[in-house]
Amino acid sequence: MLVARILVGVTGGIAAYKACELVRLLVKGGHDVVPLVTEGADRFVRRQTFFALSRREPTEDLYAHLTRADLFVIAPLTANTLAKLAHGIADNLVTEAALAHRGPLVVAPAMNPRMWASQATQANVATLRARGVELVGPDEGELAEGEWGVGRMSEPEEIQAACEGLLAHREQLAGRRFLISAGGTREPLDDVRFVGNRSSGRMGVALAEEALRRGADVTLVASNLSVPAPLGVDVVQAPTAAALEEAVLARADDADVIVMAAAVADYRPAEALAGKRAKDGAAWTIELEPTGDVLRTLGERDADALLVGFAAEAGEAAIERARRKLTDKNANLIVFNDVSRSDIGFEAEENEVVLIGRESERRIDKAPKRAIAAAIVDEVARLLEERDGRGR
């Protein structure tokens, strides 16, 4: 097991005493633990205890460690800090560090059952989940004040297991180069109008984040993203199908894995007018011409890179068409999603896909795009290992 730097945030609740055991377990696992204890938590368990357990001097300046952590775990997480995290409030060391942290975040909520069940808390929990935060618990049981219900912090062993699970894949893709296209292209009609599509880029960005998290070098070819590109990836802007084609093909030889998650226009206006076309009352007929199919061109090359395509299909026999795409475009993996459903796919936070490989298929149940990205990257990692095993 590789040693990781882990920030342990402790917020004010009686369960803070259980955070001592969590720190002890993580230190025992060989990790470099940095405790961040709020004033509220300090009233339950003194800061010095956490410093002693993590073998640190209480006088140490922690700021230097905050930007270089592999994982951040907050246990216990009070309802108050949970709300602050959901809204990006940074008013103490724990919430400031959470806002600045770029890696995985694990939280173990602990609060009164009625506070946990409240609409406000549940809305905040949904916000954190959608952002990819991993929640452990809370469990059902008797709380310190004698009440029974859901709100007890999970046991330290369970929180530790969640942390180790997230850290396990850290180096899995070290040295692998990923080229990922994301977003939707916009094909100009004139200088202000375009023909576009509804892709937000969330899925491609989630894939870039996941590959990065596992140690890969990631280049993101970005077409009009409506979400920010992750820090730590090389971003190449490619607003149109032509720009995307050029950007991807120019970098394809250097890639071990190419993921075409972008929704590339199949057609573009044959002529883009200069300036802004004025209205004249008459109909405006636009001629569309086909664009180059980047995935197909990549599949026709005699190259080593593993090719992953997406198939956004709707209606009857959609999956059949996706299966055909795998062979037609000579890809190694096609990620199929059904665009006739409004609860998944375009612009949605969640997705549900089938991973279609040459030898097997796997359905991934509806989940946040980050979890879907993890499943796709799992499959890519498996295919890379399989290929290494075969000595190419």
Interface residue list for ligand CTP (CB under 6 A): 241, 260, 262, 264, 266, 291, 293-295, 309-312
CA 140 – CA 119 distance, rounded (Å):
18
Q: Which residue has the tokens 């894939």?
A: 207
CB atoms within 10 A of CB 140: 12
96 vs 361, beta carbon nearer ligand CTP:
361
Task: Give me the least distance between CB of 306 and ligand CTP, in Å please.
Answer: 13
CB 211 to ligand CTP: min, Å: 16
- The closest alpha carbon to 243, from 334, 194, 330, 181, belongs to 181
Contacts with 2 (C-beta within 8 Å, 6 or more apart), sequence order: 167, 170, 171
Given the complex with ligand CTP, which of 141 and 290 has the nearer CB atom? 290
Q: CA quadruple 8, 12, 18, 20: dihedral positive or negative?
A: positive
In the complex, minimum distance from the CB of residue 267 to ligand CTP, in angstroms, rounded to a whole number: 9
In whole angstroms, what is the distance from residue 125 CA to residue 298 CA? 41
d(CA 116, CA 381): 38
Q: Coil, helix or strand for 301? A: coil
CB 173, CB 215: distance < 8 Å: yes
- CB of 190 vs ligand CTP, minimal distance in Å: 22
In the complex with ligand CTP, the residue whose CB is nearer, 241 or 381, is: 241
Phi-psi region of 233 (alpha: psi -120 to 50; beta: other; left: phi over 0): beta
Q: Which is nearer to ligand CTP, 9 or 309 (CB)?
A: 309
Nearest approach, Cβ of 177 to ligand CTP (angstroms)? 19
Q: Is 14 helix (H, G, I), strand (E, B) or coil?
A: coil
Contacts of residue 214, defined as CB under 8 A and 6 or more positions apart, other chains included, come to 169, 170, 171, 172, 173, 174, 377, 381
Q: HSE of 360 in the Cβ direction (CA atoms, 13 Å)?
A: 6
Residue 197 a catalytic site member: yes
Strand partners, 29: none
- Choosing from 92, 197, 337, 351, the catalytic residue is 197
Instruction: Kindly give, in sequence order, each residue whose CB lies less than 8 Å from that of residue 122, ignoring residues fewer than 6 positions away.
Output: none
Pick 154 or 240: Cβ nearer ligand CTP: 240
Distance CA(205)–CA(220), nearest Å, equals 8
Least distance between ligand CTP and beta carbon 169 (Å): 24
- Cα–Cα distances in Å, from 51 out to 5, 17, 86, 309? 15, 14, 28, 49
Smallest separation (angstroms) from ligand CTP to the CB of 239: 14
Nearer residue to ligand CTP within complex by CB, 289 or 385 = 289
Cα–Cα distance between 238 and 259 in angstroms, integer?
15
Smaller CB distance to ligand CTP: residue 83 or 312? 312
- Active site (catalytic) residues: 197
